[in-house]
Homo-oligomer: A and B are copies of this chain.
Amino acid sequence: MNGADAIVAAMAKNQIDICFANPGTTELALVDALDRASGIRSVLGLFEGVCTGAADGYARMLGRPAATLLHLGPGFANGIANLHNARRARSPMLNLIGDHATWHLPFDAPLASDIKSLATPVSGHYTYLGTPQLCIDETVTAIGATKSGLISTVVIPTDVQEHVFDERPGIPALSPRKIEACDGERIEAAARVLRSRKAVIILLGAGAMTSAGQRAAASIAATTRARVFAETFPARWDRGGDTPVIPRFPYFPEMGIETLKDAECVLLVGARAPIAYFGKTGLPSELVRPGTSVETLADPGGDAEGAIVALAQALGVEPIPPFAISVPSLPEHGLRLDPSVMAQTVAELMPERAIVAVEGATTTPFFFTTAAAARPHTVLTNTGGAIGQGMPVATGAALACPDRQVINLQGDGSAAYTVQALWTQARERLNVVTILCANKNYGVLRVELGRAGMNPDAPVPHRLTSLEDPALDWVGLARGFGVPAARAHTAGDLAELTRTALSQGGPFLIEAVM
């Protein structure tokens, strides 16, 4: 057993069963160890952002970490954008990075760089495994840190990977994470506010956005003056079926301020207090009016579902009756495609328990309203704003839940960043149907230019926000990566292609031309 074997054994013993890899020369002993190990699936990404985004999607669906295997500083750097999103999603993850041999490091070989400086902004836990004796304990510690929702990054020099142990070392197994019980005082304080008949806005974070959490929140709203909102970009949102329809807190700060203006109290249930996504002159960063009290029922990462359920019990509210599925029928076949037609089609056709990965600021928001009462499904959103997240997260979610259909409702601008994810979907035969909204521009930037009083059609702003000249041929790109694809121009095309794609299994991309 060598150092690499020990690290891999520590992973396998602690429920890490998949590794999204894009290795190089300094990771070969780990590649070899993955071959000898059983129980860890190795999945190749052609670009590191695919690996880190897929690990994020995997963690969001299963609540436990995947590993990534990345090549030195530059390879890791290619994964940072989706690690940023994963950090905002509180997704646990274990990144393994190979490094030059300890004795070679001082010579500043071409691929050497300051990995720690690159890694710390996106890593809750960082370790450099400088000696073989540290391999096992430090790897297990790093995996332990993921149990609090952290990203752990472990750098392993090649000589440590290759070190052969004289005796087969023991590999400790971590005990399951104890979830902290929700805080009785906080529940009592929240209950007092709600009983006082104040105008309360309950803001749910992803942890409370399960069916039970949302049912509890809705039952509280039904018998108090509270209104319930979902955080704008949840890591995961279970919706549809008998789950109550809960609106999403608005993205634009003006609308957020409007939503909050009559609130006397904002009650946070696993969500952060609402702030502007971007600071805009003349608008405050904090959207909650001064004078409005803010109470925290559960911290982000805490047991938000348990807290809101306990609060409903403390208030003695009646459970609400199950909601009924209500989906608008398919749009007229002849209609041209627009975001609303697309949302309607997906809402109608997606099968029960679909996982819907959405990314695209101007094309996807319709889905949240249109599909709110569709068949039960889970939505994954872009939590950190680093675009190029949708395709990789869809890939990881499909590997996490092979029995569920994944639908990636995807803007074209963001798709171009990590389009290599399609190849992994093809290789692993994943049930991911991508509906690519080809509106041929960075739409949100054109909106924001207008909001800032600039002209989006002036030559340079136009040239830097338009994806025309030439238009991307998404059918060609998808097929180039091995994913069958077709183009939809009308609502009828889209419905037919979506039905076909869903029925045949495996990956498929539909370019929805707008």
Contacts and interface: CB of A to CB of B under 8 A. Distances in A.
A23 B445 contact: yes
A296 to B, nearest CB: 16
B470 A426 contact: yes
A473 B26 CA distance: 29
Interface string A126-144: 0000000000000000000
A285 B107 contact: yes
Interface in A252-270: none
B31 A285 contact: no
B73 A460 contact: no
A385 interface: yes
Contacts of A349: none
Interface string A447-489: 0110010100011110110010111111111011110000000
B109 A277 contact: yes
Contacts of A385: 74, 110-111
Contacts of A24: 445
Contact of A107 (B275, B454, B473): B275
Contact of A162 (B281, B463, B475): B281
Contacts of A74: 80-81, 84-85, 384-386
A394 to B, nearest CB: 18
A314 interface: no
A487 to B, nearest CB: 12
Contact of A276 (B109, B121, B275, B281): B109
A104 B276 contact: yes
A171 interface: no
A463 B78 CA distance: 21
A472 B481 contact: yes
Given A104-B278, A281-B162, A114 B120 contact: yes
Interface string A54-97: 00000000000000000001110110110011001000000000
A363 interface: no
B28 A417 contact: no
A375 interface: no
A247 to B, nearest CB: 19
A500 interface: no
Contacts of A49: 78
Contacts of A242: none
B78 A25 contact: no
Interface stretch (A40-48, A194-202, A337-345): A40-48
A34 interface: yes
A84 B73 contact: yes
A84 B113 contact: yes
Nearest to A467: B46
B111 A461 contact: no
A278 B158 contact: yes
A212 to B, nearest CB: 27
Interface in A120-169: 120-122, 158-159, 162
Contact of A461 (B31, B419, B444, B471): B31
A118 interface: yes
B80 A77 contact: yes
A367 interface: no
A416 interface: yes
Given A25-B448, A118-B121, A480 B476 contact: yes
Interface string A412-426: 010011011001001
Given A277-B110, A426-B470, A470-B423, A460 B35 contact: yes
16 contacts: A21-B464, A24-B445, A29-B454, A44-B464, A47-B388, A47-B416, A47-B417, A75-B81, A101-B279, A104-B278, A109-B276, A111-B277, A117-B118, A472-B482, A473-B480, A474-B480
Interface pairs A-B: 10 shortest CB-CB: A104-B279, A470-B482, A74-B386, A476-B480, A477-B480, A77-B80, A35-B460, A101-B279, A114-B121, A74-B81
